[in-house]
């Protein structure tokens, strides 16, 4: 039997009790001592406390999507800026001539730390800006 939590829109979110592991300090999971504290940021079972973000990330696809979007908007890497700019301009990864979609994806994920200058020029030209401007998005 899982522990039912409720999202802000009152949809039920079932979380199996074995997801809540004890911290190894001798404290036991006490399902009957359930409470939510810190304005909904912490779930408590007696002495054991769990942050709600990891619970939502694991069991709520919508929350996971919102967290990922928030993370992308706060990421200051060049690749993240390129990703935001490309989406803003409604462009796909295939829209860059002579640069593969796989390369664009690798740049956006930060796997390519220093793209070739020719690649950067192609990307900037297609976006209609200078290379230096991309990182400001």
64, 89, 109 — which closes off a domain? Answer: 64
Distance CA 106, CA 104 (A): 5
Task: Give me the domain span that covers residue 97.
Answer: 75-134
Query: Which residues, 6+ apart, have CB-to-CB distance to 58 below 8 Å?
Result: 15, 19
The mean pLDDT of 82-91, rounded to a whole number, is 90
The per-residue pLDDT for range 23-38, each reduced to its tens digit, is 556 677 788 888 888 8
Shared domain for 53 and 7, answered yes or no, is yes
Section 105-125 average pLDDT: 93
Residues 49 and 75: beta-carbon distance below 8 Å: no
Share of the chain above pLDDT 90, in %: 31
> Which CATH number fits the domain that encloses residue 125?
1.10.260.40
Where does residue 61 rank: exposed (0-12), middle (13-18), buried (19+ CB within 10 A)? exposed
Q: How many helices (H) and strands (E) does the chain have?
A: 6, 5
């Amino acid at each position: 039997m899982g522990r039912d939590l409720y999202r802000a829109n009152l949809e039920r979110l079932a979380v199996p009790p074995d997801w809540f592991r004890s911290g190894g300090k001798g404290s036991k999971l006490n399902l009957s001592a359930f409470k939510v504290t810190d304005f909904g940021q912490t779930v408590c079972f007696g002495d054991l406390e769990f942050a709600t973000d990891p619970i939502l990330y694991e069991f709520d696809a919508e929350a996971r999507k919102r967290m990922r979007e928030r993370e992308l908007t706060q990421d200051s890497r060049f690749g993240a800026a390129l990703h935001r700019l490309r989406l803003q301009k409604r462009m796909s990864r295939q829209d860059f001539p002579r640069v593969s979609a796989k390369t664009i994806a690798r740049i956006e994920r930060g796997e390519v730390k220093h793209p070739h200058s020719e690649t950067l020029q192609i990307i900037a030209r297609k976006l209609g800006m200078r290379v230096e401007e991309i990182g400001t998005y």
